[in-house]
Amino acid sequence: MADEFISVGLVSGVFGVQGWIKVYSYTDPRENILNYSPWTLRKGKDSKEVKVLNGRRHGKAVVAYLDNINDRDSATDLNGWEILIRHEQLPKAKKGEYYWSDLVGLQVNTISGVKLGVVKQMLETGANDVVIVMGERERLIPFLQEQIIISIDLLAGVMVVDWDPEF
């Protein structure tokens, strides 16, 4: 694992005067971010571990109350900090399911062995997810398991795709 931490959100503001923070969550559903205590907060080179004491969905946002953050000023100081969790805090993925963070960095090869590059990121489009592969050029490959994504071997670090290298 290249990075033992996974980014799951961002502190986006304050909520009230008692130290609650607003959270922009990358989890689905959004409030799942509250299930992963403790959080490691990071901004630049600074980081600190915080325990989530309370939280809930609030409209489209999530609000959280953290240990030792008891007033608006303390909460304001956290604005813009990235919220990270350790990879082992995630539940084990079911067979045939993958966390996007596990796919980033995989070598992508065609079924005939042509190396297309590495997974740079994953993109949610609504219709189907897309694998963004960076090699000699960028390729966007639909994440359709069995049709286009033939196999994924996390231990070997390889994703095999049925994809025309010229496309």
CB distance 50 to 38 below 8 Å: yes
Domain count for the chain: 2
Residue that the structure tokens 């000023």 belong to: 73
Q: Are residues 85 and 112 in the same domain?
A: no
Beta strand residue intervals within 39-123, DSSP E: 39-43, 46-50, 52-58, 61-66, 82-86, 107-110, 115-123
- Residue 166 inside a domain? The answer is no
Q: Are residues 83 and 110 in the same domain?
A: no
What residue numbers bound the domain in which 104 lies? 100-161
| pLDDT-based confidence at residue 3 (cuts at 50, 70, 90) | low
Give the tens place of pLDDT for each residue, 57-107. Answer: 998 889 999 999 999 999 999 999 999 999 899 888 888 899 888 999 999
> Residue 82 to residues 17, 72, 126, 147: CA-CA distances in angstroms?
21, 18, 25, 36
d(CA 82, CA 111): 38
Domain at 124, CATH number: 2.30.30.240
Average pLDDT, the chain: 94
* pTM of the predicted structure, to 2 decimals: 0.75
Average pLDDT, stretch 127-131?
Answer: 91
CB distance 95 to 105 below 8 Å: no
Compute the CA torsion angle 54, 62, 48, 72 (nearest 10 deg).
Answer: -80
